[in-house]
Amino acid sequence: MRILLVTWTDQFLAKLQILNPELEYCAIVVDEVEPAKKILEQVGLSKELLYPFYELKECVKNFYYDYIVCLENYWDATALSTKLNEYEVQNNKILNVAPNVINNFLLERSLRYFKEHVAEFDMFATGISYVEAGLDVTRFKHKLFNFGRGSQDLYYNFKVAKFALSCGGGHNKFCYALIGLAPYTFHYDQTKTHNPLNHCRLWQYLIAFNDLHNFYAPIEDCKKIFRTEYLNAKLHLEPFDINNPYMTPKVTQRFMTPQNRLEARKTIDAWNKKYFLETRAENIKILDDYLTLCEENNILPIMFLPPMTKGYEKYFSRQILNEFYYLIEQACQKHSSAIFIDGWKLQGLTDTDFHDVDHLNHLGATKFSSFLNDFIESL
């Protein structure tokens, strides 16, 4: 496979060491060429491959490549992809890889920890970033493992749930499954979006499940990017914080900034535009299978929509929201044990409980988790 590599010179050697040494490079574009030359010599690559960032456009136009691999800091992914789009590079030719994200967001580590400590937990939660940020496991009387994480769609949440139940060896003692949803859940597929940040997070599912679902690049191509040793590497389990299993900077008492408020409508509009009929049909089936799995294992499924700001609620698409409620009602009618909690109707939350337009901060997570705990204890 022939690639055009775009990266920063900072930690260049460490970045190259996660890549398959058999990759063929047509060019390597970096910010600082001279220090990069010494590093290429160490790994046996020609320094003639190097080009500075200001020649990225020429490299894109003049070289043949199967993919452009952007090996960058997590937050630079969008900027690089946007620039490549300006040079008329199609999204299906861009692969975003952020080593710190793969390590810090590594799902495999959490799955392994859960399997080794499964006897300690009474329930588990799955969901997207709203669940990751919005649950404080210390507020629950039943011990909870939170599998929620940024960008994680319903397809991967269901895979996580099936893994969790498989850990019990057929003798599951879980009482509840907390199934966190978003108003756009039925239209969202992490692997179909062209969000570079989603793609940076996507590689953890290659490592954990050998599965990239509907991703545009064939899985065999994607696996060729990385060293086999890197895909099979195991991070240490300890220390492990079950309230922060992904070792990410926790949203503590962060509050919404003026920029958050200014970007609110942009954030909402972006989600309003995600509407894929095939994804909708697939996700309806996945939720049905998820609820059936809970029923078969005598687990009470508690679906919930996490709280969001009044601004988000006001401007989110009524069409998509009404369809969401309709599909949830249909699911509850089919599965009599299923419960749905609408966090948008929860009283007592204000903007100070959020760190942006749609994510709770720790103050809000404490309130919402206490509410969920009280509800569960009342059952």
337, containing H or E segment? none
- Do the domain assignments include residue 230? no
Whether residue 91 contacts residue 85, with contact meaning beta carbons closer than 8 Å, is answered with yes
Q: What is the CATH number of the domain that holds 31?
A: 3.40.50.720
- 115 and 15 share a domain? no
Number of domains comprising the chain: 2
Query: How far apart are alpha carbons 354 and 310 in whole angstroms?
Result: 11
Whether residue 246 contacts residue 106, with contact meaning beta carbons closer than 8 Å, is answered with yes
- Do the domain assignments include residue 357? yes
Query: Token match 């940040």: residue?
Result: 197
- Do the domain assignments include residue 229? no
- 62 and 184 share a domain? no
Cβ neighbours of 277 (radius 10 Å)? 8
- Do the domain assignments include residue 282? yes
- 122 and 168 share a domain? yes
Domain boundary among 67, 97, 127: 97
Q: Find how far residue 332's CA is from the centre of its chain.
A: 27
- 137 and 277 share a domain? yes
Q: Considering only the C-alpha atoms of the chain, give the largest distance between any 2 of them, rounded to a whole number of Å.
A: 69
Q: Find how far residue 228's CA is from the centre of its chain.
A: 23
- 266 and 355 share a domain? yes
- Do the domain assignments include residue 227? no
* Residues 6 or more apart in contact with residue 92 via CB below 8 angstroms: 216, 217
- 7 and 93 share a domain? yes
- Do the domain assignments include residue 206? no
- 67 and 112 share a domain? no
Q: What is the pLDDT along the chain (379 residues), one digit of tens a residue?
A: 999 999 999 889 999 999 999 999 999 999 999 999 999 999 999 999 999 999 999 999 999 999 999 998 766 888 899 999 999 999 999 999 987 666 666 899 999 999 999 999 999 999 999 999 999 999 999 999 999 998 999 999 999 999 999 997 555 689 999 999 999 999 999 999 888 888 888 999 999 999 999 999 999 999 999 999 988 988 888 888 888 765 555 545 566 666 666 676 777 777 666 666 789 999 999 999 999 999 999 999 999 999 999 989 998 999 999 999 999 999 999 999 999 999 999 999 999 999 888 999 999 999 999 999 999 999 9
* Residues 6 or more apart in contact with residue 121 via CB below 8 angstroms: 114, 143, 144, 145, 174
Whether residue 160 contacts residue 209, with contact meaning beta carbons closer than 8 Å, is answered with no
Report the phi/psi class of residue 162: left, alpha or beta, with left for phi > 0 and alpha for psi in -120 to 50: alpha
Query: Could you tell me the pTM of the whole model?
Result: 0.93
Q: Which residues pair with 6 in a beta bridge?
A: 29, 70
Cβ neighbours of 167 (radius 10 Å)? 17
* Residues 6 or more apart in contact with residue 48 via CB below 8 angstroms: none
- 366 and 294 share a domain? yes
- 55 and 180 share a domain? no
pLDDT single digits (tens) 235-281? 888 888 888 765 555 545 566 666 666 676 777 777 666 666 789 99
Whether residue 375 contacts residue 339, with contact meaning beta carbons closer than 8 Å, is answered with no
Query: How far apart are alpha carbons 242 and 144 in whole angstroms?
Result: 9
Query: How far apart are alpha carbons 324 and 172 in whole angstroms?
Result: 31
Q: Write down the pLDDT at residue 369.
A: 97
Q: Write down the pLDDT at residue 223.
A: 95
Domain boundary among 97, 123, 140: 97
DSSP 360: B
- Do the domain assignments include residue 265? yes
- 269 and 360 share a domain? yes
Tokens of 207: 């490592």
What domain range includes position 327?
104-193+235-378
Query: For 370, phi and psi rounded to 5 degrees?
Result: -65, -40
Is the dihedral angle over the CA atoms 29, 35, 40, 46 positive or is it negative? positive
Q: What is the CATH number of the domain that holds 348?
A: 3.40.50.1110
- 304 and 187 share a domain? yes
Whether residue 227 contacts residue 20, with contact meaning beta carbons closer than 8 Å, is answered with yes
**Alpha helices, DSSP H, located in the chain:** 12-16, 33-43, 56-62, 77-86, 99-104, 107-116, 129-134, 154-166, 196-209, 219-225, 228-231, 258-262, 264-272, 277-296, 310-315, 318-334, 362-378
Q: Write down the pLDDT at residue 235.
A: 82
Query: How far apart are alpha carbons 296 and 316 in whole angstroms?
Result: 35
- 71 and 28 share a domain? yes
Query: How far apart are alpha carbons 284 and 193 in whole angstroms?
Result: 18
3-state class percentages of the chain: helix first, strand second, coil last, to nearest 5: 50, 15, 35
- Do the domain assignments include residue 339? yes
